[in-house]
């Protein structure tokens, strides 16, 4: 057991010397802000905002979109903190319930009468593709954040990374999305999050430490 | 010691670490290592892993704890945090070992073909491989290794044939083996600086 004792001695000799970085909460907030900034930059430079934005910005469908995407971002952020901290309480998972409630309300009480598959036959594919595209920088940044933390369930942490990054992408995309049905937004934005979660789960090995 | 006392003791040690108290931190790490050893060795034995593997795992956990110690929030209990890290490392460790074991017992197609059809080609390849390895030796060493290891001659026979002592033959074989090992592992060994080299650095 001498080698373990030697190891412990050498580790203990560095007690208190490590630079104390920002707390996980601050680090996640910075990551989220940087991710949103990157997504908006991509949106403005590649996709552009919808032309009737000024009119739509004050109406209910747009408010629902922003509220729903924000609920996804906040919920996924809380769950990301849970995934990043060993032994954290699983009650953090309840943070996703507002987004779940909005999803259900959006689907059941859709007042817009908007087709669930969007304005055109390609609306679903275009919207989801753009959300995934806008969420790429967020995914990279969130992986960096998670690697610096201590995720003890890499598959779950990967799923949360995908969900958080897609919800940031979705929040940015609300400025460009021309499909205003609450059911459309609730279902397909969530589907984009699910796809990104599966993609990020496949990279869970990156999170091993 | 009760769970509450242990929680209290290790929490204080973790806080002491943040103040730079190496002694308290070292004592805590040793206590954790001992507790882990007691708990993990029987578990690993159940899946056929021995004491050495248990010690490797204990070291992995200690390193993990140390490298991620700032992810522990002092307002939260310490033991659940440690449990999550230990569990993660245990699962990761056994998964890795299982993968390693599978690789070691694997039967690749080449080996399989060699087994069911040890053709002349395979024999030629083995001879060629052996010649390639022996080529790193000086001619004298090569001759002795070939005589003993390939042709199966005894040390005494080789010594008599070369008109030298058995000790010299043994020494030559020992040096040849060292040379072959060095050639097989290209990573440079860490050697102490010679006096001349040390002087050069001055």
> Are B126 and B95 part of one and the same domain?
no
Helix (H) or strand (E) holding B146: none
B87: nearest CB among A12, A84, A152: A152
| The predicted structure's pLDDT at residue B186 | 55
> Are B18 and B90 part of one and the same domain?
yes
**Number of domains composing chain B:** 2
A135-175 pLDDT, tens digit per residue, is: 999 999 999 999 999 999 999 999 999 999 999 999 999 99
Q: Which residues of B touch A156 (CB under 8 A)?
A: none
Q: Domain boundary at B105, B137, B163, which?
A: B105
B202 inside domain: no
Please check the confidence at residue B35 and state whether its pLDDT lies above 50. Answer: yes
> Are B75 and B93 part of one and the same domain?
yes
The beta-strand segments (E) located in chain A are none
Per this entry, what is the length of chain A?
209
Q: What is the DSSP letter of B168?
A: H
Distance of alpha carbon B184 from alpha carbon B180, whole angstroms:
6
> Are B77 and B152 part of one and the same domain?
no
Q: Which residues of A touch B58 (CB under 8 A)?
A: 4
pTM: 0.72
| The predicted structure's pLDDT at residue B118 | 62
> Are B99 and B126 part of one and the same domain?
no
Distance of alpha carbon A132 from alpha carbon A45, whole angstroms:
16
**A113 reaches B (C-beta below 8 A):** no
**A88 reaches B (C-beta below 8 A):** yes
A86: nearest CB among B26, B55, B71: B71
Full residue range of the structural domain in which residue B129 is found: 110-187
> Are B101 and B118 part of one and the same domain?
no
| ipTM of predicted complex | 0.81
| The predicted structure's pLDDT at residue B164 | 74
Q: Which residues of B touch A150 (CB under 8 A)?
A: 64, 68, 71, 85
B165 inside domain: yes
Distance of alpha carbon B42 from alpha carbon B49, whole angstroms:
9
> Are B63 and B118 part of one and the same domain?
no
């Amino acid at each position: 057991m001498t080698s373990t004792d030697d190891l412990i001695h050498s580790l203990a000799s560095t007690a208190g010397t490590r630079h104390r970085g920002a707390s996980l909460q601050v680090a996640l907030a910075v990551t989220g802000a940087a991710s949103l900034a990157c997504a908006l930059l991509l949106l403005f430079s590649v996709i552009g905002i919808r032309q009737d934005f000024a009119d739509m910005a004050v109406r209910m469908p747009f408010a629902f979109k922003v509220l729903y995407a924000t609920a996804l971002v906040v919920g996924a952020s809380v769950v990301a903190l849970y995934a990043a901290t060993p032994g954290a309480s699983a009650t953090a998972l309840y943070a996703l319930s507002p987004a779940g409630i909005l999803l259900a309300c959006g689907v059941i009480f859709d007042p817009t009468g908007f087709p669930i598959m969007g304005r055109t036959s390609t609306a679903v594919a275009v919207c989801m593709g753009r959300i995934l595209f806008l969420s790429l920088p967020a995914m990279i940044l969130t992986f960096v954040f998670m690697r610096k933390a201590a995720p003890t369930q890499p598959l779950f942490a990967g799923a949360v990374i995908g969900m958080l990054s897609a919800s940031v992408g979705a929040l940015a995309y609300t400025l460009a999305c021309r499909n205003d049905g609450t059911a459309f937004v609730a279902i397909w934005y969530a589907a984009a999050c699910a796809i990104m979660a599966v993609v990020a789960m496949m990279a869970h090995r990156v999170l091993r430490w | 010691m009760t769970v509450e006392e242990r929680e209290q003791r290790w929490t204080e040690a973790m806080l002491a670490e943040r103040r730079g108290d190496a002694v308290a931190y070292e004592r805590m790490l040793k206590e954790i290592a001992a507790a882990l050893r007691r708990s993990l060795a029987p578990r690993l034995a159940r899946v056929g892993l021995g004491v050495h593997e248990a010690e490797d795992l204990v070291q992995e956990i200690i390193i993990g704890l140390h490298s991620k110690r700032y992810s522990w929030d002092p307002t939260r209990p310490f033991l659940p945090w440690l449990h999550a890290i230990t569990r993660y490392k245990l699962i990761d460790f056994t998964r890795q070992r299982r993968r390693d074991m599978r690789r070691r017992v694997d039967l690749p197609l080449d080996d399989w073909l060699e087994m069911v059809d040890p053709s002349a080609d395979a024999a030629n390849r083995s001879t060629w491989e052996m010649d390639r390895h022996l080529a790193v030796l000086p001619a004298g060493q090569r001759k002795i290794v070939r005589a003993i290891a390939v042709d199966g001659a005894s040390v005494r026979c080789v010594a008599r044939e070369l008109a030298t002592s058995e000790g010299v033959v043994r020494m030559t074989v020992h040096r040849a083996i060292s040379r072959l090992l060095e050639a097989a592992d290209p990573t440079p060994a860490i050697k102490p600086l010679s006096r001349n080299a040390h002087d050069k650095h001055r």
